[in-house]
Structure 1
C-alpha cells in the first residue's frame, strides 16, 4: 500500500471502530455504564476510558511525541495494576468525562496521522501502531459485548438474525500430513504472537467440518456427560464440581437460553457457545475424539493443498466479507452450521472464522524466534501452561482483529467469552490417509 492509502485505511478503521464503541456504550444509561455487571468484567465506562488511554500512550505520546492529555489517570487504566473485580472502587472518569477524554485524544490522533512519518521505526512501519490501537479497541468492544451478555435488565442491543444454513454440513475432513507455514511475517498489522512465519510438520488428521452444535452438545448432557468422571481431566472434574457446571453458561434446563436480555428457545443447529475448555475437552473425549492442536487448526484453516501455500483465510487471501463469515457484531448470535459456504476451505471445513472462538488443546507460547513487540505485556507475560489458545474469532470479533493467524488465549475455566469448539481425531489403524 502507498503512504496515502495506509493513512486513509488507518483513519477509516479508527472511526469505524469508535462507532462500534459508541453503540455499545450509548445503548445504556449512565448508571449502567458505571455498574459492574459481573466480577469477571470491568464497568463499561472503564473499558471506554481505557481504550482512550492506550490510544494516548501509544499514538499521542509515543508516535506523535506530544504532550500528555491526562497523565494523571494512567495508573487508573493500567490493566495490570487493577484486577477487574477492583475497578469499580477506583476514582474513574464518569461517563461524560470519559467521552470527552477519548474525543480529545482522537482529535489529536487524527491530526498527527496527517503528518507523522510512517517509516524509520518498526512501530510506525505500514501504520502498525494505528493498527495495533484499532485492534486493541476492537478487542475491548468484544469484551464490552460480553459484558452486555452478562447485564441484567431490558434488552438494549439489536441486530438482524444471521443467515440460514445453505445446506447440511456433517462429518470430518481429512487434512493430509506434511509441512505448512504457520504464523506470518508479512501481515502488516499482525501482532507479535502471530510472528514469525515458520514451518511446522503436522501428521495427517481428521477435523470436524463444522463446530459442535447445540443439538450435539445436548446429547452429551443427556447422556450424563456432566456426571461421568471418565470424560474429564482431574482439573476439569474438580472445576465442574466446584463451579456446579451442568451445561453451557446462560442455558436453562427447559430448552431455552438468554441472549442479550432475551430468553429464547435454543437453536439446535447453531454452534454451542459459552463453554469452557474443560467442557469442550470432556465432550471431545465422550465423542471419541479430541480437541485439535493449534497447529492442526491453523493448517486446516490456511493450508491450500493445491498450491502448498498458506492463505490469509480459509477461503483465500480476500478480506472477510458478509458472505464469508459471521464477524463484527453484525448479528448477535452464531449462525447455523452451513450458513457461510463461501467461507469454507478447499477441504470443505466450514465456519473456521467467526461465529465462536474455538478452543484448541495447545498452551499459549511464543513461536520459534518470537520477539516481544512493542511491549512484553501484550503476549509474553501470558506464556505458559495456565492459558489455552483459542482460534478463529466469534460473531463479536471484528475483522480487523481476526485473521487466519490471529491467536487468542484464556484460562480453561472461562465461559463468559464467546467460546465454542470443534473436534479432531487421529486416523484409525489401517484407515486410508
Structure 2
C-alpha cells in the first residue's frame, strides 16, 4: 500500500546516491577462483588477481530504481538523468539498439505494477542491465556523487566469486584457507532464511 501511495521511498540501502547503497569494499589481491572438486563449470581452479578495490550493491536493483532510467531515455526526469540518457542513446544507436529494448519485459506498460516499486526488477536482458549500469555511472558523475576514477558497471564473474566466497580483506597464507563454499558458509550451517535456492 505504501508503494501505491508513493510513500515507500526512504528505505536504507536503496538510494543510489547514498554511500549506504554499497556493501563493504572488497580489497584487491589474489584469490583462488574455481573449484577442482566442484561441478564441471567450476573447473579448473586457478589464482586470479583483482587489481582495483570495488563494492557491490547491497540489494538487487528495484523497479523504483530502474524506472528513472526508462523515463530518462524517454526524455523525462532531472536534467542530469536526461543528459546521461542522451549519451547512452548515442551508444545504443551505434549498436543498433532501441530504448524499448531496455524496458523490463514483465512490466505491464511504461512502468511497473502498483505496489511493486521495491521488488527486484526482473525481465531485463544482459544488454539492458549493462545499459542501466552505464547510465547510472554517467548520471552519478553528472550529479557529483562519483569522482574521477570511480565507476559503476556490472561485476565480472571473478568479482562475484571473490565477494561471495572470501572476506573483504584477504588474510595471508594459503589462498583457499578463507574460502567459503557458499556465501553463508558451509551448506549445513544453520542460518535459516539465508541460503540461496541452489536447485
TM-score, normalised to structure 2, is 0.63
> For residues 281-323 of structure 1, what are the alpha-carbon distances to aligned partners after superposition, in whole Å with 9 as ceiling and x for unaligned?
1111111111111111111111124766221111112258751
| CA–CA separation in structure 1 for the residues paired with 2:94 and 2:34 | 30
CA contact (8 A) 2:26 2:55 kept: yes
Instruction: Answer 1 or 2: which has greater helix percent.
Output: 1
Task: Give the aligned partner of residue 276 of structure 1.
Answer: 125
Task: Give the aligned partner of residue 3 of structure 2.
Answer: none
1:245 aligns with 2:101: yes
Task: Give the aligned partner of residue 303 of structure 1.
Answer: 166
Q: Secondary structure at the match of 2:103?
A: coil
> For residues 5-33 of structure 1, what are the alpha-carbon distances to aligned partners after superposition, in whole Å with 9 as ceiling and x for unaligned?
xxxxxxxxxxxxxxxxxxxxxxxxxxxxx
1:256–1:216 distance in 2 versus 1, CA, 3 Å: closer
Query: What root-mean-square deviation, in Å, do the aligned CA atoms of Structure 1 and Structure 2 show?
Result: 3.0
Task: Give the aligned partner of residue 36 of structure 2.
Answer: 185
Q: In structure 1, list runs of 5 or more residues that go unmatched.
A: 1-166, 258-264, 328-398, 401-433
Instruction: Answer 1 or 2: which has greater strand percent.
Output: 1
| CA–CA separation in structure 2 for the residues paired with 1:322 and 1:240 | 43
| CA–CA separation in structure 2 for the residues paired with 1:298 and 1:306 | 13
| CA–CA separation in structure 1 for the residues paired with 2:102 and 2:28 | 38
Larger RCO (CA under 8 A, 6+ residues apart): 2
Q: Secondary structure at the match of 1:282?
A: helix
1:270–1:252 distance in 2 versus 1, CA, 3 Å: same
1:183–1:246 distance in 2 versus 1, CA, 3 Å: closer
Q: Secondary structure at the match of 2:98?
A: helix
Matches within 5 A, 1:4-403: 168-169=12-13, 170-173=20-23, 174-187=25-38, 190=39, 192-203=40-51, 204-224=53-73, 228-231=85-88, 233-234=91-92, 237-240=95-98, 244-245=100-101, 247-253=103-109, 255-257=111-113, 265-288=114-137, 289-304=152-167, 305=169, 309-319=178-188, 323-325=193-195, 327=197, 399-400=198-199
Q: Give the count of matched residue pairs.
A: 151
TM-score, normalised to structure 1, is 0.31
1:287–1:254 distance in 2 versus 1, CA, 3 Å: closer
Q: In structure 2, list runs of 5 or more residues that go unmatched.
A: 1-10, 14-19, 76-81, 138-151, 172-176
